[in-house]
């Protein structure tokens, strides 16, 4: 069922049985960075203290009721998530305002803005969409506010030109963005019990408010901290290349099944305890606060006359609040079971824990989707969240490659953990299996007997969308920018319609298609897997320069494709409707005129396409369907898409100054 759509100023009540909610603010243009924030306001519309301002430098309110969970990519743009525990919001807080701000640019440049409220299971409660923003650099999307004994949600959609610091100040937050004159205690982190901090700094932190830092005046600092990049420890004393250093997480002797799951769970928990940036990144995905992390394995709980033993118990401490989650882990081809997850939900509700987390090789087709449906009544007070091993691997790669880990020892531990995850024996694969229906569907496509309503076809269609999201995750980790799997908006909130559309195309022409949008790339990366011909077609389209002859436009393209394979197809589209030419790159290099001879009009765009062999196997080696699609996307991006740059016209030239004769000047 679609969520209630709000108009500006409209409000609706939240269900009485909903205790925890996530507020997701989204925008279309992900190239512009939006900083989400929440303000806990009293009846006067002001914060009670600086700690009532929740944002990237202070990701949790002092009472733990409101937490900033970070920003992530979506198929249509980007989004930020803030979680609110309505049962623990202090009585003096009347309203939680959900806002965003931009350091450079305006909200009018962000396209469509969305304000989406979901419950702990990800079900939509309310949504507000607007495109009315213009010059604002700070924007209030909506509010969650008290009404009697319950809570309501209101769509606001108002902004002003003051940025994050101005937004905070307008709501009564004291802002101090003066440069540091001494060592500062970061606003977001009270010293963690597992750390060994400088005692003088700890004592100073104890005697100050959460918004006070050493060496500066009181107030919240809105300026972002610059992340430093550490280097893993290097071993340089080996006498021969065959010498191998000892590994922190050995894969020697790893079996399958239960032993594999225990090893992977232990490696994950140990790494999270040692590498705090990784713990915070993963815990943020689970709705946990930023704080000291601890994990315990094989903990036993009583449930009636039986025992319940989750793979791990996760604990996060933030001030006086302790967040707890029960973790169920599957590796290899292990599948999550509904009855097992529901038993954990029962234990978590009885123990007043916060969440149950499933971790497996299942990559849900969309963010927030769960691989296993459970009785929704069990989610009234406990959240159920899913994490894939692909996302864990993605987070480790991001931290190692693009900053976030500042300690060299932690960087080495993280790199050892990544090596373990990437080893086949770990069982923590990314996405390697198209599912048990793949062979039957593949053969039906080849025979022409597949129909769009076939249930097996719908299951395989969902796997393809998971693979498309997996490709976006891989590129994101490798490139350090948020790569999006682009889907029509109507399919983002309706998985049933999305899978049906993919299955219908598969039955009609035997193809899958994924569109990946990579920031700063000249065009989208389109991947088409043709099951009938066993070929993969990778394609990108870019606009030609809008000045110069067609020959010069072809030369402009060839200069950028110096290392591209000669078999790449180059299609030139001309201004005259229906006028196109196509030739392989090798021939165009030898004679550029093959694209322009006897053609009317000028070239307006180029389409570049390369074909690759498509693996037909369900899983396993490089001959598998998934491995071949990933390899093709990697190769085409590296040799064709990556070198391309959009055409930028030259700056306007000034008129040549008139030359004045020196003799005339003297005479006059």
Q: What are the distances in angstroms from CA 192 to CA 159, 319, 572, 636?
A: 37, 10, 60, 45
Cα–Cα distances (Å) from 585 to 118, 573, 575, 590, 615, in that order, read: 50, 15, 21, 9, 25
Beta bridge partners of 526: 515, 539
Helix (H, G, I), strand (E, B) or coil at 233: coil
Please tell me the distance from the alpha carbon of residue 263 to that of residue 270, in angstroms, as a whole number: 11
Give the CA-trace dihedral at 456, 461, 462, 467, to 10 degrees.
Answer: 130
Q: Are β-strands 312-318 and 95-102 bridged in parallel, bridged antiparallel, or unpaired? A: unpaired
Which tokens in the block code for residue 263?
């090893």
Sign of CA dihedral 358, 361, 363, 367: positive
Instruction: Give me 60's structure tokens.
Output: 């949790």
Distances (CA, A) of 652 to 544, 626, 649: 19, 49, 9
Q: Which two tokens stand for residue 618?
A: 């369900």
624-630 long-range contacts, CB within 8 A, separation 24+: 624/432, 624/434, 625/434, 625/438, 625/442, 625/529, 626/431, 626/432, 626/433, 626/434, 626/467, 627/432, 628/536, 629/467, 629/471, 629/527, 629/529, 629/536, 630/470, 630/471, 630/474
* Residue 194 pLDDT: 36
Q: How many helices (H) and strands (E) does the chain have?
A: 15, 26
Q: Where are the alpha helices (DSSP H) in 117-257?
A: 163-170, 199-206
CB contact at 8 A, 77 and 64:
no
Torsion-angle region of 516 (φ positive above 0: left; ψ -120 to 50: alpha; else: beta): beta
Residue 217 CB contacts under 8 Å (≥ 6 apart), including other chains: 176, 178
Distance in angstroms (rounded) separating the CA atoms of residues 190 and 202: 8
Q: Give yes or no for a contact between 458 and 500, defined as CB atoms under 8 angstroms apart.
A: yes
pLDDT, averaged per 10 consecutive residues of the chain (668 residues), comes to 77 88 81 83 89 84 82 69 88 92 81 85 83 84 91 90 80 66 37 35 35 43 58 77 82 76 94 92 83 90 86 87 92 87 92 92 74 85 89 87 82 92 83 84 93 90 89 84 80 82 93 90 93 94 89 91 92 86 93 84 92 83 82 93 86 67 51
Whether the predicted model's global pTM rises above the 0.85 cut:
no
Q: Where are the domains of the chain?
A: 5-176, 258-426, 448-641
Separation between Cα atoms, residue 66 and residue 54, nearest integer Å: 7
Nearest Cα neighbor of 189 from 291, 67, 279 is: 291
From edge to edge, which strands make up the β-sheet containing 603-613? 484-485, 511-517, 525-530, 535-543, 603-613, 569-574, 580-584
H or E element, residue 630? helix 625-636
8 CB-side CA count, 13 A: 9
What is the bridge-based pairing of β-strands 124-130 and 5-6?
Answer: parallel
Tell me the fold of 5-176: Lipoxygenase-1 (2.60.60)
Q: What is the CA radius of gyration of the chain?
A: 28
Predicted pLDDT at 210: 38
Residue 115 in contact with residue 128, Cβ under 8 Å?
A: yes
Among left, alpha and beta (phi > 0; psi -120 to 50; other), residue 111 is: left
Exposed, middle or buried by CB within 10 Å (0-12, 13-18, 19+), for 203? Answer: exposed
**Both tokens assigned to 444:** 């039906």
Which pLDDT belongs to residue 108?
A: 82
pLDDT for res 31:
63
DSSP-derived pairing of the beta strands 150-160 and 292-297: unpaired
d(CA 517, CA 521): 8
Neighbouring residues of 100: CB distance < 8 A, sequence distance ≥ 6: 25, 27, 34, 35, 36, 37, 80, 107, 138, 139, 141
C-alpha closest to that of 66 among 48, 42, 40: 40
């Amino acid at each position: 069922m679609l969520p209630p759509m709000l108009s500006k100023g409209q409000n609706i009540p939240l269900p009485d049985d909903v205790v925890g909610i996530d507020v997701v603010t989204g925008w279309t243009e992900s190239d512009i960075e939006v900083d989400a924030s929440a303000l806990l306001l009293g009846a006067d519309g002001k914060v009670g203290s600086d700690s009532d301002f929740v944002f990237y430098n202070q990701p949790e309110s002092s009472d733990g009721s409101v937490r900033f969970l970070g920003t992530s990519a979506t198929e249509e743009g980007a989004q930020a998530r803030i979680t609110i525990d309505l049962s623990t919001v202090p009585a003096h807080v009347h309203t939680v305002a959900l806002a965003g701000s931009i350091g450079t640019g305006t909200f009018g440049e962000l396209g469509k803005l969305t304000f989406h409220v979901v419950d702990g299971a990800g079900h939509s409660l309310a949504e507000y969409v607007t495109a009315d923003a213009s010059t604002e650099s700070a924007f209030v999307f909506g509010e969650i506010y008290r009404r009697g004994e319950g809570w309501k949600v209101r769509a606001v959609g108002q902004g002003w030109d003051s940025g994050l610091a101005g937004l905070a100040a307008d709501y009564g937050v004291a802002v101090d963005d003066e440069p540091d004159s001494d060592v500062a205690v970061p606003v977001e982190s009270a010293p963690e019990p597992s750390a060994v901090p400088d005692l003088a700094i700890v004592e100073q932190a104890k005697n100050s408010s959460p918004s006070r830092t050493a060496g500066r005046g009181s107030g919240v600092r809105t300026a972002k901290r610059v992340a430093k990049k550490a280097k893993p420890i290097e071993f340089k004393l080996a006498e021969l290349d065959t010498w191998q250093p000892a590994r922190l997480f050995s894969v020697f002797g790893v079996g399958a099944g239960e032993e594999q799951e225990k090893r992977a769970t232990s490696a994950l928990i140990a790494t999270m305890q040692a590498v705090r940036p990784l713990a915070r990144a993963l815990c943020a995905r689970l709705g946990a606060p930023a704080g000291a992390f601890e994990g315990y394995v094989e903990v036993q709980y009583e449930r009636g006359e039986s025992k319940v033993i989750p793979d791990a118990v996760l604990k996060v401490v933030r001030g006086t609040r302790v967040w707890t989650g029960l973790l169920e882990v599957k590796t290899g081809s292990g599948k999550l079971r509904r009855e097992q997850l529901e038993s954990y939900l029962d234990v978590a509700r009885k123990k007043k824990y916060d969440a149950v987390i499933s971790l497996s090789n299942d990559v849900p087709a969309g963010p927030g989707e769960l691989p296993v449906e459970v009785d929704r009544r069990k989610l009234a007070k406990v959240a159920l969240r899913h994490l894939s091993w692909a996302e864990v691997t993605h987070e480790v790669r991001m931290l190692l490659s693009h900053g976030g880990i500042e300690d060299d020892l932690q960087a080495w531990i993280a790199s050892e953990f990544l090596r373990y995850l990437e080893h086949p024996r770990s069982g923590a694969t990314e996405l390697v299996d198209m599912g048990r229906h793949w062979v039957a569907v593949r053969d039906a496509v080849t025979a022409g007997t597949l129909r769009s309503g076939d249930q097996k076809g719908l299951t395989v269609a969902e796997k393809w969308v998971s693979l498309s999201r997996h490709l976006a995750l891989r590129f994101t980790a490798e490139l350090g920018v948020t790569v999006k799997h682009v889907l029509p908006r109507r399919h983002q909130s309706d998985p049933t319609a999305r899978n049906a559309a993919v299955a219908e195309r598969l039955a009609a022409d035997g193809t899958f298609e994924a569109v990946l949008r990579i920031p700063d790339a000249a065009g989208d990366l389109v991947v088409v897997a043709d099951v009938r011909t066993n070929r993969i077609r990778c394609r990108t389209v870019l606009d030609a320069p809008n000045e110069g002859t067609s020959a010069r436009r072809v030369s402009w393209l060839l200069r950028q494709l110096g290392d591209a394979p000669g078999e790449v197809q180059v299609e030139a589209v001309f201004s005259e409707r229906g006028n196109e030419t196509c030739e392989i790159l090798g021939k165009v290099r030898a004679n550029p005129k093959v694209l322009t001879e006897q053609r009317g009009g000028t070239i307006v765009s180029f389409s570049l396409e390369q074909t690759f062999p498509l693996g037909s196997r369900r899983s396993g080696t490089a001959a598998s369907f998934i491995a071949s699609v990933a390899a093709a996307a990697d190769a085409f991006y590296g040799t064709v898409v990556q070198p391309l740059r959009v055409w930028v016209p030259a700056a306007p030239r000034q008129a040549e100054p008139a030359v004045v004769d020196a003799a005339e000047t003297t005479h006059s």
